[in-house]
Chain A
Amino acid sequence: MTEENITEINHEEHHKQSIWSKYIFSYDHKMIAKQYLLLGISMLILGGLLAMLIRWQLGYPDEPLPIIGLSDQYMETGEVDGVVDEMWDGWFEDETENWLTMTIPGGVIGPEFYNSLFTMHATIMIFFAIMPILVGCFGNFLIPLMIGTKDMAFPFLNMLSFWVAFIGSIVMLWGFFVPGGHAAAGWTGYPPLSSSVEFSGVDWGQNLWIISLMIMGISSMMGAVNYITTIVNMRAKGMTFFRMPLTVWSLFIVAILLLLAIPVLASALSMLLFDRLWGTSFFSASGGGDPILWQHLFWFFGHPEVYVLILPGMGIASDLLSTFARKPIFGYKAMVYAMISIAVLGFIVWGHHMFQSGMNPALGMTFMFSTMAIAVPSAIKTFNWLGTLKGANIKFTVPMLNTLAFVSMFVIGGLSGIFMASTPVDIFIHDTYYIVAHIHYVVFGGSMFALFGGIYYWFPKMFGRGMNMTLGRVHFWMTFVFFNATFFPMHILGIGGHMRRIANPMQYEYLQDMQWINEFITVSAFMLGLAQIIFFFNFFYSMFKGKKSVDNPWEANTLEWVAPTPPPHGNFLTPPVVYGGPYEYGVPDREEDWLPQDIKR
């Protein structure tokens, strides 16, 4: 089966490719990876802008937005009281009412739009930015190259997977422009708020949110099947499972997680859509259903999903750490087993999102134990990263700086998780900013730093040109400083009892003394946002004008650096044969301090 596919691709290669088949409907895993990267980066920018709006509202509640809020159009239409009341009626009937005046009348982010903002910030970042980049882009680009094969097992399915994700993205973006606004029930979409128009005022926005996530699930399933098949069947000669780079291991495990978790999400989403459109009552108590059922199904998917976001980061960080420490990774097998245990345990901890949900508290007790247990493999990984640094010869390149940030920020994100694993402490911090701080330390401090590190690291192989490292350093330090200035104080807000998802903390007496912290966070967040402009500029500039790169600029061992830069269709000039593990750095009795996997010792 797979052999047939490979010959099929080779056959196609002989034909001259049109722009259409080379750049748009390409079967080549590297081009598909770049498509995912571009999709992910565009959505990253959008998700970031939504975050800026959220921060504006929290730092300066109910004040008009700068620039947009003060434009003439706003000064005119914003003062019409009726606009607010009839916010969602007669959407396009009056020509003077455009999208902006309807959504943010008077330039003020109202509570309705605010709810859409944080819902869509999370949805977009998780499903449309981090997953497409970490899983879609890195998975597609690295798996065939790192295991030494020509392409994915199912190139057509691969192409389809991207375009399905693209359609899913369009559907999701469409939601911003329908009457009633976009989904506003949080990224977790708890019914009955999400299942009834009557309760939320959101009509097709929520439907499109559901449909889009279903489409994205189909795309992820196609990708997962492809990744698993490729890794199991198409490894180069000599590439045993325990010679695979940890990045490939992490993506392999992620693919299995997606394969097992997404059907559960899909079924939950179907039920929700049925509840919304065809009057079923799976999640409605008045019709005999149960709103808690959604939470069980959602988090059964949702917790493995969290590991989908962090595991590729762990894999990438391990590879980069070993490469720039110029030292074999400490405890390779322990790393693999830790990731496997995270994946297995990840399926029995979902209830820790539901300690205060009304689920039987005795069940909460058992989930506390399983949740505490999942801290163990994370700790093992951290100690192994630390062990890798001991006795190393550390090169502080830009990818390495990002990797070290990943490790240290993941430690904070992991440790803050212990608080909420303890059920009594969770009573207080559940649904507060403590949770928001925790998730951002894991997903921004973890996944995003690994993502940045990975892009700086593999950019030369992808585009044949290196990124500018001076800009890279400026970007890293600004991101690192303002990331902490933005998200660390959120722990304090959480300890103060500041709820998540409130549009205006000034409505509560006990939160008013902390408003200066909110303002501080907002300023830091804007600086964090500005720092990303450097990255995006560097990214697009270097793609065309960057310094041409050699085949193995980092003197790394793994197979992708054996292939020419950028790799041609089919990747390797001759099929590589693997003789050793991926992390043979500092081998004694060798002149160079690295030993590529395809070189006999």
Chain B
Amino acid sequence: MLDWLPENISTYGVKIDFLFYLIYYITNVIFLFVAGFMIFFMIKYRFKEGRKSEYSHGNNKLEIIWTSATTIGVLALAVISAPAWKEIKIDLPEPDIIVQVTAEQFNWRMLYPGPDNVFGTIDDLEIENVLNVPVDKVVHIRLRSDDVIHSFFIPNLRLKQDALPGREIIVWFEAMKTGRYEIPCAELCGFGHSGMLGHLYVHSPEDYEAWINENWPES
């Protein structure tokens, strides 16, 4: 079933997919275990005239066993999940590239700081719905919104973050593979929510150089 996941191209996506698979296998085993017992009991203990059921009100030892087992199990899952979350959303690595993305009904406005790497200067370049980044570089996205809440979603990067009006949120990624990928909006943002779409171009170093030269020829 997990074959349906879109191809992962981000560094931390590997960790998300690992957790996804891990929980998938664990929950499958639990489900088969519970469903197996249920079906077995349903067949074995189906109604027979004249038979009486076992007169039992439970078993405290079993209660303690399955309570502590599930507690340990789920808390272990939380502990295993924590480092990936910390890496992706809390401990951001130093950026190689910074792009400011402003969401609006129903576009992603990508603002590039230009060669001086400073926003708010004359060489800033704004492109609608197209995000150009180099491969194997840490990219910081300064995420903003002009109107309602949007959610910046790049399935292939395993990246999702709501964009809030009045706040700037920094997210990061490092793409491992070149290509063209889609950037839908994942949070309901109005009648144009469906169809709100940008594109991510992950360039090879040479292509990225060419893209820079094309847009900032004088530098």
Contact = CB atoms under 8 A, between A and B. Distances in A.
Contacts, number: 289
B125 interface: no
B194 A386 contact: no
Nearest to B27: A415
Nearest to B188: A501
Contacts of A193: 148-149, 188-190
Given A186-B188, A372-B75, A492-B4, A425 B151 contact: no
A356 B152 CA distance: 10
A496 interface: yes
Given A331-B59, A373-B75, A390-B45, A422 B147 contact: no
B6 A496 contact: yes
Interface string A575-596: 0000000010111100001000
A112 B184 CA distance: 18
A218 B185 CA distance: 36
Interface string B162-205: 11111101000000000000101111111111110100000000
B16, B71, B74: residue with the most chain A Cβ atoms closer than 10 Å: B74
A484 interface: no
Contact of B52 (A334, A412, A419, A588): A588
Given A427-B159, A497-B6, A361 B89 contact: yes
Given A327-B54, A389-B42, A286 B165 contact: yes
Given A193-B149, A416-B27, A502 B74 contact: no
Contacts of B24: 419
Contacts of B88: 424, 427
B161 interface: yes
Contacts of A199: 105, 147-148, 190
B54 A586 contact: yes
Contacts of B186: 430-432, 499-500
Interface residues of A, number: 100
A421 B182 CA distance: 26
Interface string A372-392: 110110011011101101111
Interface stretch (B29-37, B107-115, B132-140): B29-37
6 contacts: A110-B191, A389-B45, A392-B53, A418-B77, A491-B1, A495-B4
Given A327-B55, A356-B162, A499-B185, 9 more contacts: A325-B45, A327-B53, A364-B85, A365-B85, A375-B74, A389-B38, A392-B45, A412-B31, A586-B54
Interface of A: 110-112, 114-115, 184-186, 190, 192-193, 196, 199-201, 284-286, 290-292, 325-332, 334, 356-358, 361-362, 364-365, 368-369, 372-373, 375-376, 379-380, 382-384, 386-387, 389-396, 404, 407-408, 411-412, 415-416, 418-419, 421-425, 427-428, 430-432, 491-492, 495-497, 499-505, 507-510, 514, 583, 585-588, 593
